[in-house]
A and B are shown apart, each in its own frame.
Chain A
Amino acid sequence: MEETLKIVVLVKHVPDAQFDRHITGPGNTTDRDESILSELDEYALEAALQLAEERGGPKAGNEVIALSMGPSGAVNAVKKSLQIGAYSGVHLSDDALAGSDAAATSLALAAAIRHISADGRPVDLVLTGMASTDGETSLIPAQLAERLQFPQVTFASSLEVSGGQVSARRDAGAFSETVEAQIPAVVSVTDQINEPRYPNFKGILAAKKKKIAALSLADIGVDASQVGLAGSWTVVESAEARPPRTAGTIITDDGDAGIKLVDFLAAQKLL
């Protein structure tokens, strides 16, 4: 049996992309009503659960901790993760965190991960999705790795951990790469890595008994001035809704639509 692992999975509560999303909050922040667990984080959670299950699951001493930072509603991303199968949850929440950019978010998350490591058992892996489905910057894994001074293994489309070493396939860019690093490491995974499981009835019931630790900034030793709008290094100065695209000409093919299409492209000077 492989050595057991302590894995933190970052999960984010994001506005549901199935609906219109709006920037209406203070400091041009996103309205977070109608939020769900970021779909891309489900792949990270699945990868964590598979690694833990290969090693005998919770009984053997593995840990899969779902960590979310966000306002009170963000606890729902943790709860959903527990229903899917995470063993325990951590919700980092503090009014001062509102409006944090990636740099401030990575500072708070790094402090939370150090706090989770401070129980005498250091975290072996921090697993994340390839991006959040709201901010879509993909900055957090890289910035966390920089702050924690862990190797980063990002955009992994396969993942193995053995003998204290992470090995992953990375397909971002013109090359397909095999990437190796020592643990502890930050690993982000793509939506190609696995098929995330759905919560079943048993999982939903079991989740009610799982623990969610609530952390404040004071708990993780971060000052309010380091995070939020005040601690961020970028400011969103304006946000304007893009005028919705309107339908143009719609034709039904009568046998010459291909030629009409080329006429249209020629008229638009696109040929």
Chain B
Amino acid sequence: MANALVFIDNPGAALKKSSLELLTIARSLGETAVAFTGELNDDVAATLGAYGATAVYQPSVEDLDNYLVGPKAAYLAAAVAASGATAVLVDNSPEGKEIAGRLGIKLNAGVITDVVGVEADGTAHKSVLAGSYNTTAKATTPVTVLSVKANNVEPAPAGAASAPAVATVEVPAEGLANSARIAARTEKPVSGRPDLSEARIVVAGGRGVDGDFGPVEELADALGAAVGASRAATDAGWIGHDAQVGQTGVTVSPQLYISAGISGAIQQKAGMQTAKVIVAINKDAESPVFEIADYGIIGDLFKVLPQATAEIQKRKG
């Protein structure tokens, strides 16, 4: 009997860091099993063992990825039953949260999203109302479903690796009925930069970049950072909507957030104010962003950012 079940959805050739974080949290709750979809290659299986998974479940059907949310939740419910787990951990992506939501209804289980920390008794920590409150919440049901945000624990392998038993779980047929089908899928262009929601450092540009994200992207690349943007910049079409940080975009809590040419309206603040360190560069000394910045520079981003980029490259040799 496992205590915790981690859902890992079609990771491809290698596990994502966020999955390793889930496995690390799960181990702190007890014996850990994994509900897996996609191809389980030897490297991935070995990594699951290294992170202490004692059982790995796979679905009886191969086309779960052709459906939206519902069938994956049905599979996960069956895996919960097979494993006996009382805590289920999924990633906090839009689909992860939705799978958590439907799983909760199927299992009569409380669901807590946007979790940043889990205690041994299942108490979850999260930040709400755009980072203005920290709350603790707990499910009152036998099973707890948690969607956990990335970057809140350091992934750590188990002291001793295990050789997980692999088993197939029957996906209930009704899981596929009443579900939306994915008729076509195109991979979005890959930037080579870290994923915005998981990045350790984010460099973001706003209205002040005036159509030119070049200096923002160059500083991001020098720092190994993701590129973000304010809604004003994405609405202007200067950069894709995927880069939007804020209430209607991605919420980030990186170690470092560099805000360039962003005034810091509440919409933006909502997406980034839990960053550990905030740096702001803006021409306007009255910008609200300076009220929350640990380090503020009143100046022209087109001068400050390239100078910083060159200095970082110089120091890195």
Is B278 in contact with A153, judged by CB distance below 8 angstroms? no
Query: Can you list, as one digit per residue, whether each of B277-317 has a CB less than 8 Å from chain A (1) or not (0)?
Result: 11101000100001111111111100111111111100110
Q: B89-103: which residues lie under 8 A (CB-CB) from chain A?
A: 93-95, 97-102
Decide: A146 near B112, CB < 8 A? Known: A21-B132, A173-B93, A270-B255: no
Is B311 in contact with A242, judged by CB distance below 8 angstroms? no
Is A137 in contact with B114, judged by CB distance below 8 angstroms? yes
Q: A127-148: which residues lie under 8 A (CB-CB) from chain B?
A: 130, 133-143, 145-147
Decide: A264 near B295, CB < 8 A? Known: A234-B137, A236-B137, A256-B307: yes
Query: Does A239 have its Cβ within 8 Å of any Cβ on chain B?
Result: yes
Chain B contacts for A106, CB-based, 8 A:
105
Chain A contacts for B47, CB-based, 8 A:
none
- Tell me, rounded to whole Å, the shortest Cβ–Cβ distance linking B255 to chain A: 6
Query: Does A17 have its Cβ within 8 Å of any Cβ on chain B?
Result: yes
Decide: A154 near B307, CB < 8 A? Known: A253-B298, A261-B297: no
Query: Does B41 have its Cβ within 8 Å of any Cβ on chain A?
Result: no
Query: Does A258 have its Cβ within 8 Å of any Cβ on chain B?
Result: yes
Among residues of A, the one whose C-beta sits closest to the C-beta of B73 is: A146
Q: A73-109: which residues lie under 8 A (CB-CB) from chain B?
A: 101-103, 106
Chain A contacts for B299, CB-based, 8 A:
252-253, 257
Query: Does A250 have its Cβ within 8 Å of any Cβ on chain B?
Result: yes
Query: Does A262 have its Cβ within 8 Å of any Cβ on chain B?
Result: yes
Query: Can you list, as one digit per residue, whether each of A193-227 has a CB less than 8 Å from chain B (1) or not (0)?
Result: 00000000000000000000000000000000000
Chain B contacts for A60, CB-based, 8 A:
none
Which listed residue (A18, A175, A233) contacts B139, Cβ 8 A? A233
Query: Does A268 have its Cβ within 8 Å of any Cβ on chain B?
Result: yes
- Tell me, rounded to whole Å, the shortest Cβ–Cβ distance linking B188 to chain A: 6
Decide: A147 near B94, CB < 8 A? Known: A247-B291, A261-B297: no
Query: Can you list, as one digit per residue, whether each of B68-79 has a CB less than 8 Å from chain A (1) or not (0)?
Result: 111001000000
- Tell me, rounded to whole Å, the shortest Cβ–Cβ distance linking A257 to chain B: 5
Task: Tell me, in angstroms, the Cα distance from A255 to B307 when the chains sit together.
Answer: 9
Query: Does A240 have its Cβ within 8 Å of any Cβ on chain B?
Result: yes
Is B68 in contact with A235, judged by CB distance below 8 angstroms? no
Task: Tell me, in angstroms, the Cα distance from A146 to B84 when the chains sit together.
Answer: 22
Query: Does A44 have its Cβ within 8 Å of any Cβ on chain B?
Result: no
Decide: A233 near B104, CB < 8 A? Known: A103-B111, A151-B180: yes
Chain B contacts for A242, CB-based, 8 A:
127, 131-134, 274
- Tell me, rounded to whole Å, the shortest Cβ–Cβ distance linking A141 to chain B: 7
Chain A contacts for B141, CB-based, 8 A:
233
Is A150 in contact with B178, judged by CB distance below 8 angstroms? yes
- Tell me, rounded to whole Å, the shortest Cβ–Cβ distance linking A127 to chain B: 15
Which listed residue (A130, A143, A175, A234) contacts B105, Cβ 8 A? A143
Decide: A20 near B184, CB < 8 A? Known: A250-B290, A270-B255: no
Is B137 in contact with A235, judged by CB distance below 8 angstroms? yes
Is A181 in contact with B133, judged by CB distance below 8 angstroms? no
Query: Does A159 have its Cβ within 8 Å of any Cβ on chain B?
Result: no
Task: Tell me, in angstroms, the Cα distance from A170 to B97 when the chains sit together.
Answer: 15
Task: Tell me, in angstroms, the Cα distance from A175 to B275 when the chains sit together.
Answer: 27
Is B180 in contact with A185, judged by CB distance below 8 angstroms? yes
Is A270 in contact with B95, judged by CB distance below 8 angstroms? no
- Tell me, rounded to whole Å, the shortest Cβ–Cβ distance linking A175 to chain B: 5
Query: Does B162 have its Cβ within 8 Å of any Cβ on chain A?
Result: no
Query: Can you list, as one digit per residue, whether each of A154-186 has a CB less than 8 Å from chain B (1) or not (0)?
Result: 110000000000110011111111111100010
Residues of A within 8 A of B (CB): 15, 17-18, 20-21, 23, 28, 30, 39-40, 101-103, 106, 130, 133-143, 145-147, 149-155, 166-167, 170-181, 185, 190-192, 232-242, 245-253, 255-262, 264-266, 268, 270-271
Residues of B within 8 A of A (CB): 68-70, 73, 93-95, 97-102, 104-106, 108-114, 123, 127-141, 178-188, 201, 223, 241-242, 247-248, 255-256, 266-267, 270, 273-274, 277-279, 281, 285, 290-300, 303-312, 315-316
Chain A to chain B: the 10 pairs with minimum beta-carbon distance, closest first:
A258-B307, A253-B299, A233-B110, A172-B94, A181-B180, A142-B98, A248-B294, A258-B308, A142-B101, A234-B110
Extra A-B contacts (19), CB below 8 Å, given A153-B180, A233-B141, A260-B297: A130-B248, A137-B101, A138-B101, A139-B104, A143-B102, A146-B101, A171-B241, A172-B94, A173-B95, A175-B188, A190-B248, A192-B241, A235-B137, A237-B123, A237-B136, A241-B132, A242-B132, A262-B315, A270-B201
